[in-house]
Amino acid sequence: MSSSTPPGGAVPEPPLWEQMVENARNAEGERLQKVLARAGFGSRRICEELIEDGRVTVNGEVAILGRRVDVEHDEVCVDGGPVGLLPGLVYYLLNKPEGVVTTSFDTHDRETVVDLVPAEPRVFSVGRLDIDTTGLLILTNDGQLTQFLTHPSHGVEKEYIAEVQCGPKGVSHGALRALRDGVELEDGMTAPAEVGQLEPGVLRIVIHEGRNRQVRRMCDAVGYPVLRLVRTRIGPLRDTKLRPGQWRELTTDEVRALTRAVDQDATDTM
């Protein structure tokens, strides 16, 4: 046993100076219930109840009433989902049209997704859709939520409708089974997917991964190239009223549902 370990294997208390730094940070921050209320979780009293019920964590530790947080550095989660703390955060849902690139700047002077939403504050896309794919895309300046949504370990569902090249009988049962079970691509085997044939040659595909051009490559691998591809859902988000090129702001409830989906889908895919 190391000489620095106390008798009986007890974990030593952190050095006094570390406690002082942590206490100073807590004293200088904003009250947690105030920050949660500003983020749309209800009145301060409701937010206090969330804390008292043990549903709020700060940097991985269950928060207590009276806790203060540094909105620039602390990671706050409610029911396991990350909470955007900084004021001025925006969340846009865009129906990306064909021919628009998913980037902030294009060297070939093509129209980009950020050209379709307000210029200020500056936002970035959460994940990608290739130039020929249309459908739902999230743009935000919430870096923490973006990291959670795009990290492979969380695996938030994405749903697509794919029109594929095939004969009058549609996609074969063997190809559908292969898509569901996983197909071998150049960057490895895909995870199991939810796949159904809505009508001959029209597939509904739900994946948890976010590989480049994944749905197109999956369909190519089983011999049915994609002719048209539309993303219809991101986690709990769906909007059939948005026309191509249109966007809207997410509601507070939608942002909260999205953060909950991050944690739920991570649990489901473990």
Where in the sequence numbering do the catalytic residues fall? Answer: 130
Q: Which of 188, 257, 173 is nearest to 222 (CA)?
A: 173
Exposure of 257 in the CB half-sphere (CA atoms within 13 A): 11
Q: Which of 135, 131, 69, 51 is nearest to 96 (CA)?
A: 135
DSSP codes, 180-211: HH--EETTEEPPP-EEEEEETTEEEEEES---
Cα distances from 182 to residues 82, 127, 166, 193, in angstroms, run: 30, 21, 20, 7
Please give the Cα distance from 195 to 180 (Å, whole number): 6
The helix (run of H) or strand (run of E) holding residue 249 is strand 247-249
Please give the Cα distance from 183 to 99 (Å, whole number): 28
